[in-house]
Structure 1
Amino acid sequence: MIVTVTANPSLDRTIAVDRLRRGRIHRAASDHVDPGGKGVNVSRALVANGHPTRAVLTTGGHAGAELLDLLAEAGVPVEEVPVSQGIRSNLTIAEADGTVTKLNESGPALRPTEIDELLVAAIAPTLDRAASWIAGCGSLPPGVGADFYADLVARARDAGVLAAVDTSGPALAASLRARPDLVAPNRDELAEAAGTTVATLGDAVTAAEALRTAGAHAVLASLGPDGAILVDARGVHHAEAPLTGPVASPVGAGDAALAGFLAAGGSGPDALAAAVAWGTATVALPGSTMPGPADLRLDTVRLTADPDRGRLLR
């Protein structure tokens, strides 16, 4: 079982318009509401593909109640930690040409007792050795210190469970000091964490190696249309897959990729190929819809060991 931890879940509403014009009234072509938060998305993707998971998350307010209803409809097992303030609602505006504009709220301020309850709830499924991974994912709400994921990684290690972290900024930097088994940044997060620019495949590899030097055992870095790289003790692997149709929404693609990687064993090139298949399938789906087995095309993934480091990223 894969346990996901989402300290800052959300309701995610996606509205599709032909073209966004500032200061104008628009009529939506469609709208869609999904459970949100990176860890929540990872669990949703796992459930959609028949893999056992448990989503540990905070809940509060009317949005929290709706989130729980949506997760129940999706069949996602939940361990909720009630908090005193309502969870956030995010808005995504998707234009016909593939441009996506996101408006994300910061989320509720958590009390110290609520933070402790969340960490305890995260470790609880590991006590009977039922869990193989704990994945701490997403931004941290107000009141939660940057060392939250480092604490989570340390607790996972004490429980004998592998730990993955998918976050950014100070929280990612702090988590490296706890030596997580896996970190899963996107291109921008990778560049920020390594303090460098990532313009080529070689830049991405160098930045990933810097994160390994800082403490991560393995780095799974999503590179958008250029696929993803895996840098670990075995070396460097790159995988990519062609899109089979137009981009509907890139929201949640990185979360699906992490889910695919963990579902395929959480290490090695085969897991990287699964990550790219899951992530690629997601961008063809509306809103933050997670792919199911019928959407996945593992046969189209191109996997390369020691790829061309001079290749420019799009």
Structure 2
Amino acid sequence: MIITLTANPSLDHTVELPGVVERGEVLRALSSREQPGGKGVNVSRALAAAGLRTIAVLPGEPGDPMIVALRAQGIDVLSVSTGQPVRRNITLTEPDGTTTKINEPGPLLTDDDASRLVEATARAAASADWIVIAGSLPPGLSPDFYARVVRAARAVAGGGRPLVAVDSSGEPLAALIAAFAASGERLDLIKPNGAELSELTGAAAGDAIEADPALAASVAERLVGTHASPGPVVGVLVTLGSRGAVLVESGDAWFARAPKIVARSTVGAGDSSLAGYLIARTAGLEPAARLAQAVAHGAAAAALPGSDVPALADTDAAAIDVVRLPSTSHLDRLGDRAPLGDRATAGP
């Protein structure tokens, strides 16, 4: 079973436009739809579409439209009451796949809300194989919240379980990495994009990372470390947009090129990529095959409207070309940057 925690879920309203966004003009939509959203929620939706058992943990009232919609899709939900509505996000999509998002900040959560959310997640994760911690933090939660969640979950489950995958950014991700680097513990997987990996490490610009899979791999190696000196992360899945993705695990690195698609919406594509990786990992596949399924899932999601997630039958991992990358470090070409520990401690 895979547990997902979405601390700042949303009800996503997606509007499909016939042309480009023109500021100040009246725009007529081709279609619109609402879907329950948030990174962890999207991962749970994609996992459930592949037949895997998952529970989505999130703050919200049982009768909130977002939670009602999620349950209507057959997703098991463990909600923590906060007395406040789930935020609503607006997404505008253009014919070429360009996506514009307007995200509300989310409700202000109290210390009591945070404690109950940690307890609920730990309780749900007691018998789980994986816990996925994903998305931004709503107002009121401190940057160390995710570290609290992971430690509480592992304290309940014991034996280094559950395995932990993280898809976040900014200060919450930096604080989590710093906490694990200081303790000598390791997260099992993080899934940054190029900009998020740049922000986390300070090693290279985000657009340079996205354009160069070898550079992406060498930057990710800073987090994984070596057998003699392991870093705070076991594996890094770096999504590179329309280029594909890179996976670094145990001193090895692979690159998978994304297939050619007609993109309709990129909302949730990265979340589907993470779900694809977990689907393949749960099936016992090797790292290269996990990467292929991740890229296949992300591409299939981008070809769908709104924040729809693909079924396993919508993906074709066998058509994804995966190549092994040199494991030699490219850090000498990155310039004189602050060490990762300093960056992680100080925050991005």
Correspondence 1:149 to 2:168: no
Match of residue 197, structure 1, among 202, 205, 216: 205
Correspondence 1:252 to 2:268: yes
Asked if the contact 1:58–1:118 (Cα under 8 Å) also holds between the matched residues in 2, the reply is yes
What is aligned with 1:181? Answer: 188
What is aligned with 1:3? Answer: 3
Correspondence 1:206 to 2:218: yes
- After TM superposition, the structure 1 = structure 2 runs for residues 121-136 of structure 1, keeping only pairs within 5 Å, are 121-127=120-126, 129=127, 131-136=128-133
Distance of 1:157 and 1:306 partners within structure 2: 33
Give the CA deviation at 1:207: 1.8
Correspondence 1:228 to 2:253: no
Distance of 2:21 and 2:243 partners within structure 1: 27
Distance of 2:58 and 2:305 partners within structure 1: 24
Asked if the contact 2:96–2:264 (Cα under 8 Å) also holds between the matched residues in 1, the reply is no
SS in structure 2 at match of 1:110: coil
Correspondence 1:50 to 2:58: no
Correspondence 1:269 to 2:300: no
Asked if the contact 1:11–1:88 (Cα under 8 Å) also holds between the matched residues in 2, the reply is yes
Structure 1 unaligned regions, length at least 5: none
Q: Which amino acid aligns with 1:143?
A: G
What is aligned with 1:13? Answer: 13
What is aligned with 1:239? Answer: 256
TM-score by length of 2: 0.84
- After TM superposition, the structure 1 = structure 2 runs for residues 66-77 of structure 1, keeping only pairs within 5 Å, are 66-77=65-76
What is aligned with 2:113? Answer: 114
- What count of residue pairs does the alignment treat as equivalent? 305
Match of residue 325, structure 2, among 281, 288, 306: 306
Distance of 2:296 and 2:147 partners within structure 1: 29
Give the CA deviation at 1:191: 1.0
Distance of 2:125 and 2:272 partners within structure 1: 23
Give the CA deviation at 1:251: 0.6
Asked if the contact 1:156–1:162 (Cα under 8 Å) also holds between the matched residues in 2, the reply is no
Q: How far does the alpha carbon of each residue in 1:269-305 deviate from its partner, in whole angstroms, 9 at most, with x for none?
A: 2211111111111000000000012311112111111
Distance of 1:285 and 1:147 partners within structure 2: 35
Distance of 1:247 and 1:308 partners within structure 2: 32
Distance of 2:116 and 2:194 partners within structure 1: 32
Distance of 2:303 and 2:326 partners within structure 1: 26
Give the CA deviation at 1:180: 1.2
Q: Which amino acid aligns with 2:273?
A: A
Give the CA deviation at 1:125: 2.2
Give the CA deviation at 1:308: 10
SS in structure 1 at match of 2:281: coil
> Is the deviation greater in 265-274 or in 222-231?
265-274
Asked if the contact 1:241–1:300 (Cα under 8 Å) also holds between the matched residues in 2, the reply is no
Correspondence 1:28 to 2:29: yes
RMSD over aligned Cα, in angstroms? 1.8
Q: How far does the alpha carbon of each residue in 1:152-175 deviate from its partner, in whole angstroms, 9 at most, with x for none?
A: 222233322111111001111111
Give the CA deviation at 1:203: 2.1
Distance of 1:106 and 1:60 partners within structure 2: 18
What is aligned with 2:333? Answer: none
Distance of 1:299 and 1:210 partners within structure 2: 30
Structure 2 unaligned regions, length at least 5: 181-185, 226-230, 331-348
> Is the deviation greater in 212-221 or in 23-32?
212-221
Q: How far does the alpha carbon of each residue in 1:125-149 deviate from its partner, in whole angstroms, 9 at most, with x for none?
A: 233x2x1000100000001111111
- Seq. identity, %: 44
TM-score by length of 1: 0.92
Q: How far does the alpha carbon of each residue in 1:228-256 deviate from its partner, in whole angstroms, 9 at most, with x for none?
A: 1111114111112312x410001101101
Give the CA deviation at 1:101: 0.7
